[in-house]
Structure 1
């Protein structure tokens, strides 16, 4: 089992992550610098087969009309009903987060490069052809990264205390130059999980936990339970609404919506999922909120272009074949 799946499985099975005991911290990052060279053999080509053992994030970057899938074998791209992949820079991406200019990620570089391992927090605006150092390069890996669509407001979940970054939720409001710890006041869950950030207001964030969704309008410094109590395995924002997956009585797997400002709740019909195949990632296209995608623990990928009225299966068990 991969590290990423261990983190998700830990949330599902109840591994506890303490949420207290660390003081606020500000850390000055050196000037952003380019950390990978353009490789002449880098191309985006149509993929005849896809066979993914691990899916580690999905999203709709604002600089491309496509759905991106992050994996331990680099990026896979679904566009115009066809699958594409890169011929180089097949990095093991963790914490994938689509933003307006491309994507943010963490993880490990592919073997044979001069990149430091771990990647820390990096950004790409050219489909992974080049990576830009945002913070913690060569120092940290983050399984959970989230950001506003602009990419200016960034949140990371640090799973261990170190000299550069506190344990727990940390955030930056200046493109990763400085960082502070979220104090999580009124947070009462016994687990930390996936983070989602409002696409337009980076002060607003939410977190998936075993006890439900905790919501904040001040960078996670003050938290409020806005949906629950039940296990939430994945979430994202769709405008002001939170789109999330819950596991409820009899292990039914649902896709729901919640508006923390109005209290409105809703449900989106999805294909039937076995109890051992919960939803792991959800993505909404900020430029078209009717376009939704989600993945499952067994690496299935579904997409809807009409906000859940109809669904297409893009991957089954991480696989698909094309002529």
Structure 2
């Protein structure tokens, strides 16, 4: 039974369970300190950089119910999508996005911002659920990609550079039947895919940053890979529980659990290399991210709410979250 412990933990509320349909209350602690002026922005920093970072205020607390993690290339931040808004780790410091305390689900970082679903902060005036929203200014404003008030997409993949999407729709809405759907025009239109061969309860989806025909899925029956845009999938692991999936430009990173957690790098030709993990007891990797400018800098988030960084592809790890508490 030991190898089956992780799935109930994840199902209990980490990233595949439904969050409350009630609107999200703003955190009891709502820091009012003004965001410090950044000394790290160069004279050539883009408007996106400035706008995103101006929203940030220091954060020294605990986050729960993380439903996504990723680097935004425009400002170099590692973003965590939590039950109470976005938290950001950058250059050894923690911040949060002020006055945007949405319960983000299906979060995907992109080169210029992020795409997410979930439930709105009660002060926002948005309908519940959020549908699919895109932000390219760090969360100050949102572009509606559809389904607001209709659907909360927990399983969603977005091309980091292409902005194409692949989602699982849990029940019929105004444009979709139940099942897997993809958009090849950044959410303008959708078509259903067969997803033949994809078995088990899917917990996470990933899309290659440029080639949106490459899609990976983590399920309780393993890791599955599609090379035809989600029409068909093949299992690329044994019977281990699939816990995480992430595409860089050169490889698929995936997490599994069978007696112990594993993190694997699989290049696009299919050659695999196991990456050493920090010491973890009955814990597994549920989110993976790679820094867009440093291929050896990886971040992982685990089922027990820990987060770790490595600057040397797994040789050494630094803990930045301990059971949700920032370090």
Common topology (TM > 0.5) = yes
| 1:179-258 pair list within 5 angstroms | 179-185=190-196, 187=197, 189-248=199-258, 251-258=259-266
Deviation at 1:266, TM superposition (A): 1.0
> How far 1:9 sits from its partner (Å)?
7.0
Q: Is the 8 A contact 2:66 2:81 kept in 1?
A: yes
SS in 1 for 2:171: coil
- Say whether the 8 Å CA contact 1:212–1:227 is kept in structure 2: yes
Match of 2:156 in 1: 145
State the shift of 1:101 in Å.
1.3
- Secondary structure of the 1:234 match is strand
Please name the residue that 2:23 is paired with.
none
Tell me the matched-pair count. Answer: 285
Give secondary structure in 2 for the equivalent of 1:56: coil
- Please, which of 263, 274, 277 is the counterpart of residue 267 of structure 1? 274
The structure 1 segments of at least 4 consecutive aligned residues displaced by more than 6 Å after TM superposition are 1-4
The corresponding residue for 2:118 is 107
The offset of 1:139, in angstroms, is 1.2
Q: What's the CA shift for 1:182?
A: 1.5
Matched, 1:165 2:171: no
CA distance, structure 1, for counterparts of residue 14 and residue 300 of structure 2: 19
- C-alpha distance in 1, partners of 2:205/2:241? 14
> Do the aligned residues in 2 keep the contact of 1:212 with 1:230 (CA within 8 Å)?
yes
Contact 2:63 2:82 in 1 (8 A): yes
Is the CA contact 1:8–1:233 (under 8 Å) kept in the aligned structure 2?
no
In structure 1, stretches of 5+ residues that fail to align are: 11-41
C-alpha distance in structure 1 between counterparts of 2:218 and 2:10, whole Å = 20
| 1:284 lines up with 2:290 in the alignment | yes
Distance in 2 (CA, whole Å) between partners of 1:119 and 1:2 is 22
CA gap 1:306/1:238 in 2 versus in 1, 3 angstroms: same
- Which structure is richer in relative contact order (CA contacts within 8 A, separation 6 or more)? 1
CA displacement 1:10-64 (0-9 Å, x = unmatched): 9xxxxxxxxxxxxxxxxxxxxxxxxxxxxxxx831122x1211221110001211
Matched position secondary structure for 2:297: strand
Gaps of at least 5 residues in structure 2 are: 1-8, 19-53
More strand by share: 1
Partner of 2:56: 44
Structure 2 match to 1:316: 322
* Alpha-carbon distance in 1 for matches of 2:271, 2:224: 16
